[in-house]
Amino acid sequence: MGNSVATGFAQAELIAVLAAVTANEPRVMTVQAGKALPSGPFESSHRSLQAGLRDWVESQTGHPVGFLEQLYTFADGDRDPGAGTGMRRISISYLGLVREQAAPGAGQPEWHGWYEYFPWEDRRDGADDRAGGLDRIAASLTAWADSQPHLRAERHQRVDFTFGLNGMDWNEDLVLQRYELMYEAALIPEAGGQPGFGQPMQGDHRRILATGIARLRAKIKYRPVAFEIMPGSFTLLQLQRTVEALVGLSLHKSNFRRQIDQQELIEETGETTAETRGRPAMLFRYRPSVLEARQMAGTRLPISRS
Amino acid sequence: MGNSVATGFAQAELIAVLAAVTANEPRVMTVQAGKALPSGPFESSHRSLQAGLRDWVESQTGHPVGFLEQLYTFADGDRDPGAGTGMRRISISYLGLVREQAAPGAGQPEWHGWYEYFPWEDRRDGADDRAGGLDRIAASLTAWADSQPHLRAERHQRVDFTFGLNGMDWNEDLVLQRYELMYEAALIPEAGGQPGFGQPMQGDHRRILATGIARLRAKIKYRPVAFEIMPGSFTLLQLQRTVEALVGLSLHKSNFRRQIDQQELIEETGETTAETRGRPAMLFRYRPSVLEARQMAGTRLPISRS
DNA sequence: TTGACATAAACTCACTTTGAGCATAATCCT
DNA sequence: AGGATTATGCTCAAAGTGAGTTTATGTCAA
């Protein structure tokens, strides 16, 4: 760096993590029979990264992208062994939210449930525990921790914290950390490890997906992103189920409702819906007016107001 | 994207926002007499983006970088008109925290107080209000809002929210939004606007700096990053002054202390310091042991624990 | 028609976390 | 010794959260 005006050429590629929720299941857009995330070269014709990706996604899905945010930029060598051609590849990844999945048609991209790739990340009450395989993961990680006596204590602590074992709480945001830990412990085929824990993907696409899930789970707590994925009007339970799908946890019903309406993010449409059984629910819509004001929630700093 | 295996070549560049705090003033490393952030081409010799930047920074500052995180990746065309050469430039920016500033020596990079670039971002009690010029900014923005009758209400709302005017609270995290708004209103020389509001920088470096400040201010609330900037042992007041410098606000003393010690991030060294006047303060050190466990704070989701 | 079921929506209550300020302790300076 | 000055401890009300309970309003099946 500094004053050198040397090389620095690279091949630039965009990679998209596009998420939608259908039937209370979060899905991600894929190509190659679910083995890869959609990607392609960054063309000079694009006005900007964001705009180029937005255009492309909308033409592919037929739906507007409500939310689009840069995730991370990787250079191969970060992990992917890559080629030794001297020319580096730079991958710029994005997270986007789509309202509905496109009707399946010829040449349309496929959508896969994201818990197919990370079964252990689904900890909702209904979720099949054997599918998640937390027990098997815990056993493998324990063996890994014990295999190096001088690192044992440190590794055990890390495993317990990351996976919420031995009295620690499960933290739904640690998606990437869990994946990286399993990668280190060679439980991930992409790292040359044993298969059996979720569907693998090409290259480091599964890691990018983990990054996207983690970002979305963190964001949903302080910014109203869930609405970008909901239809125009919805019941409170539908909203709750969507959030639960994304964070992979079951939520407390009345507290969830209280939280939503004290944020004043939604308003009644006046209609009700005759879902299945039970008392019909009121329908709500998102209030975009307050969007900006509530966009950023709040600090946790003890500010002195004098 | 999709199946095309076309061009996508670009020139890759790294840009660093390196922050330190000296004498209760946050500083950023610059080149070219404070008119630019340090940057340079991304060399193929670097193992990875992160590693390459870390090596470089440590050789330049003479101090290890405690914290280094990717900020954002820009392609020119996002704003910078750039050249029409067909070859795009991609800038990958990083935020790093350094413990002390390097002793000024020949060829050493300079450090500048970051409020020279954003005087209005310093709202600590001592801060000179005329330097910030919030009144002048508010006046200019009001004129800008009024200049388009059909956008007036919307613009006023946005101005009030972003700058904490007319009854709204100041939100210290909105550094980038404030800069972008002033940019739109042509108060920023980089956009061809009037000078007079903070020192300008080359290209969009001031915007990158704003992104870095915003990220750091947001992060400091839920992750113990302030310690990466502190010396090995410190008093609680020193810690508070450092945080105040970064967030640009004065904090409530006893509540700040309570918050710190209930997080159990620090421990007494047993020593005390004879600062200037007053009762000597106990010295503390950071407890790296709990680092991982406290690394990620907490959710705000109403989880059902059944 | 009626009652069993299912879901919605409102309300309660104990407990924890915050914002704000006051009280006391230990130094230095004059 | 007495005042100034900073550190540290304590209190208290208000707001926010976790966990339930109660009441309302519909469908479905006997």
**Mean pLDDT, contiguous 10-residue spans, chain B (306 residues):** 53 91 94 92 73 80 85 74 60 91 61 96 86 90 97 92 90 94 93 86 95 95 89 94 95 95 90 84 84 58 72
In the predicted model, residues of chain A with pLDDT beneath 50 are: 1-6, 80-85
> Which chain B residues contact residue A174 at CB under 8 A?
296
Give domain status of residue A145, yes or no. Answer: yes
CA of B63 and C1' of C25: distance in angstroms?
39
Say whether the CB atom of A280 is under 7 angstroms from strand C.
yes
Look at residue A139 and tell me if it is in a domain.
yes
Q: How high is the pLDDT of residue A81?
A: 46
What angle (nearest 5°) sits at the alpha carbon of residue B260, between those of residues B257 and B266? 115
Q: Report the alpha-carbon angle A14-A18-A22, nearest 5.
A: 165
Residues of A in contact with B296 (CB under 8 A): 171, 173-174
Q: What is the pLDDT of residue B275?
A: 72
- CA distance to partner chain B, nearest, from residue A47 (Å): 6
Shared domain for B127 and B91, answered yes or no, is: no
Amino acid, res. A166: N
CA-to-C1' span, A304 to C26 (A):
26
User: Taking CB atoms and an 8 Å limit, are A73 and B74 in contact across chains?
Assistant: no
Selected residues 126-145 of chain B with any CB under 8 Å from a CB in chain A: none
Q: Is A292 on the interface with B (CB under 8 A)?
A: yes
In this structure, are B104 and B89 located in the same domain?
Answer: yes
- Report the domain count for chain A: 3
Nearest Cα to A121, choosing from A182, A205, A36, A35?
Answer: A182
Domain match, B72 and B148 both: no
Amino acid at B164: G
- Predicted local distance difference test score (pLDDT) of residue A82: 44
Q: Which of A215, A303, A306 should one mutate to test binding to chain B, selecting the residue with the greatest count of B CBs within 10 A?
A: A303
Q: Does B67 touch chain A (CB under 8 A)?
A: no
A109 and A14 assigned to the same domain: yes
- Cβ separation of B46 and A249 shorter than 8 Å? no
Inter-chain CB proximity B44 and A293 less than 8 Å: no
CA B252 to C1' C17, whole Å:
16
Interface of B with A in 154-183 (CB under 8 A): 157-158, 161, 168, 171-174
Nucleotides of D under 7 A from a protein CB: 4-11, 17-21, 24-28
Nucleic acid strand C within 7 Å of B279 CB: yes
What is the structure's pLDDT at A2? 44
Domain assignment present for A285: yes
Does A97 fall in a domain? yes
Cβ contact A40–B250 (<8 Å): no
Chain A contacts in chain B segment 37-66 (CB below 8 A): 38-44, 46-50, 56, 60
Answer whether residue A16 is part of any domain.
yes
Q: Which of A197, A217, A251 is the last residue of a domain?
A: A197
Domain boundary among B66, B98, B115: B115
What is the 3-state composition of chain B as percent helix, strand, coil, each rounded to the nearest 5? 35, 25, 40
How far is A126 from A138, CA to CA, in rounded Å? 21
Of A38, A75, A252, the CB nearest to B48: A75
Which pLDDT does position B143 carry in this prediction? Answer: 97
Nearest to A243 by CA among A274, A265, A221: A221
Check if residue A304 sits with its Cβ under 7 angstroms from strand C: yes
Give the rounded distance of the alpha carbon of B78 from its chain centre: 21
**Looking at the structure, do residues A107 and A145 belong to the same domain, yes or no?**
no
Helix (H, G, I), strand (E, B) or coil at B302: coil
Report yes or no on A262 lying in a domain.
yes
Dihedral sign of CA atoms B70, B201, B229, B260 in order? negative
Question: What's the Cα-to-Cα distance from B306 to each of A56, A172, A249, B303, rounded to whole Å?
Answer: 44, 17, 12, 9
Residue B23 lies in a domain: yes
What CATH number is given to the structural domain containing A287? 1.10.10.10
Contact (CB, 8 A) for B114 and B24: no
Contact at CB, B43 and A172, closer than 8 angstroms: no
A27 and A89, same domain (yes or no): yes
Is residue A48 in some structural domain? yes
CB A92 within 8 A of CB A49: yes
Contacts of A147 (CB under 8 A, 6+ apart): none
Q: Are residues B97 and B139 in the same domain?
A: no
Whether A56 and B3 have beta carbons less than 8 Å apart is answered as no
**Mutation for testing the B interface, residue in A44, A108, A170, A294 having most B CBs under 10 Å:** A44
Whether A126 CB is under 7 Å from strand C:
no
Task: Give yes or no: residues A36 and A88 share one domain.
Answer: yes
Chain centroid offset of residue B87 CA? 30
Q: Do A9 and B12 touch (CB under 8 A)?
A: yes
Last residue of a domain, one of B115, B132, B155: B115
| Residue at minimum CA to C1' distance from nucleotide C29 | B277
Do A49 and A42 contact (CB within 8 A), yes or no? Answer: yes
At B5 the pLDDT is 37
User: Is there a single domain that holds both residue A110 and residue A16?
Assistant: yes
Give the model's pLDDT for residue B105: 55
C-beta within 7 A of nucleic chain C, residues 203-242 of A? 235-237
Judge: A10–B90 Cβ closer than 8 Å, yes or no.
yes
Radius of gyration of chain B (CA): 21
B272 - beta bridge partners?
A: B282
**pLDDT of A6:** 45
Q: Which amino acid is at A266?
A: I
Q: What is residue B207's predicted lDDT score, i.e. its pLDDT? A: 96
Using the Cβ of A302 and the Cβ atoms of chain B, whether some distance falls under 8 Å is answered with: yes
pLDDT, position B296? 57
Write down the residue that tokens 């010029």 correspond to: B133
Span between the terminal Cα atoms of chain B, in Å: 46
Are B106 and B126 in the same domain?
no
Flag whether residue B9 sits within 8 Å of chain A, measured between CB atoms.
Answer: yes
CATH number at residue B63: 3.90.79.10
What is the residue range of A241's domain?
230-295
Task: Say yes or no: A124 and A179 in one domain.
Answer: yes
Residues B99 and B16 in one domain: yes
